[in-house]
Amino acid sequence: MSAPNAAGAVIYAKDLSRVIAFYRDVTGLPVTHSEIDYAILESELFLLVVHAIPAGIAASIDVANPPLRREDAAVKLVFPVPSIAASRALAALHGGALNPPEREWQFQGHRICDGHDPEGNVIQLREHAGA
């Protein structure tokens, strides 16, 4: 059930189930479809496809524990959340991390916090400042 005209992104994952659980729980995007090699998480306005990296390529990728942030990537995904504090705890539970509260900032009516998923992909969470 894809939302018509939803903006979206694709993330390639070495550990598919772990990355799906991270985005489902941290961002609140429900899984609306899944197959053995991908899952779709979506809202009315956004579609996130988490796709497995092919086994031959995945074998050559080392994800550190804890993962190193890929801060040199050209794209950072941004997700609205009801609570950065709650998302911080969920991110840690799923192998990712958010910056500590003292590194949050305010921008255009939102509280903003950067972090990363369990494979080091950099993300940003936005909480409405009135929340």
The domains of the chain are located at: 7-54+67-128
Please tell me the predicted confidence (pLDDT) of residue 5. Answer: 64
The answer to whether the CB of 91 falls within 8 A of the CB of 26 is: yes
- Contact partners, residue 104, CB within 8 Å, separation at least 6: 84, 111, 112, 113
Neighbours of 36 (CB within 10 A): 7
CATH number for the domain running over 7-54+67-128: 3.10.180.10
Please tell me the predicted confidence (pLDDT) of residue 2. Answer: 59
What does the pLDDT profile of the chain (131 residues) look like in tens digits?
555 667 899 999 999 999 999 999 999 999 999 999 999 999 999 999 999 999 999 989 989 999 999 988 888 999 999 999 999 999 999 999 999 999 999 999 999 999 999 999 999 999 998 75
Crossing angle of helices 84-93/16-27, nearest 10°? 160
Please tell me the predicted confidence (pLDDT) of residue 13. Answer: 96
Task: Please tell me the pTM assigned to this model.
Answer: 0.88
The answer to whether the CB of 109 falls within 8 A of the CB of 128 is: yes
